[in-house]
Amino acid sequence: MAEWTSEQVAERFQEAALTAHRLPPVRVQGYFNTWPAILRQPWETFSGDDALYRFPPDPAAIDRMEETMGWVLWLAEEDRHLVWMRADGYRWRDICRRFGCDRTTAWRRWQRALLTVAVQLNAASTPIKESEIS
């Protein structure tokens, strides 16, 4: 792949957050219901809760999400929270309250964290020449 940029890293984090939200909910194993499903009349369903249907992500998206989650190990804990909050779609106002800083400062920290990840990815993708090993 070509050189990673901050924008590409930000897009990958946003995709990972979206993929994480599309995963099925975690449930306690071992419990089940033996009652039969109740077939309701149409007039009974008017007051019922609407079912939320999530289409599960494809395996390639899950693999990219897992790879992206490994990238946060290169960041400090505060930067991890900042990057994930922004990827989840939090407003800058909420992020600034969480970190107790100005919007410009939060944006700079976010850019610095994305640049740190991009630099690490570019360093990992650079092939090592045989002359550098010896």
Taking the alpha carbons at both ends of the chain, their separation in whole angstroms is 27
pLDDT of 16 over the 80 cut:
yes
pLDDT of residue 54: 73
pLDDT of 131 over the 60 cut:
no
Which residue bears the tokens 């994305």? Answer: 114
Model confidence pLDDT, tens digit, residues 99-129: 999 999 999 999 999 999 999 999 987 766 6
Q: Once rounded to an integer, what is the mean pLDDT over residues 54-79?
A: 94
Q: Once rounded to an integer, what is the mean pLDDT over residues 37-47?
A: 76
pLDDT-wise least confident of 32-41, 86-95, 101-110: 32-41
pLDDT of 72 over the 90 cut:
yes
Element (H, E) at 103: helix 103-125
Sign of CA dihedral 121, 126, 127, 130: negative
Q: What is the pTM of this model?
A: 0.77
Separation in Å, CA 21 to CA 4, 26, 47, 73, 91: 25, 12, 27, 21, 18
Closest CA to 18 of 65, 75, 77, 59: 65
Q: What residues does each domain of the chain span?
A: 1-22+53-126
pLDDT of 57 over the 90 cut:
yes
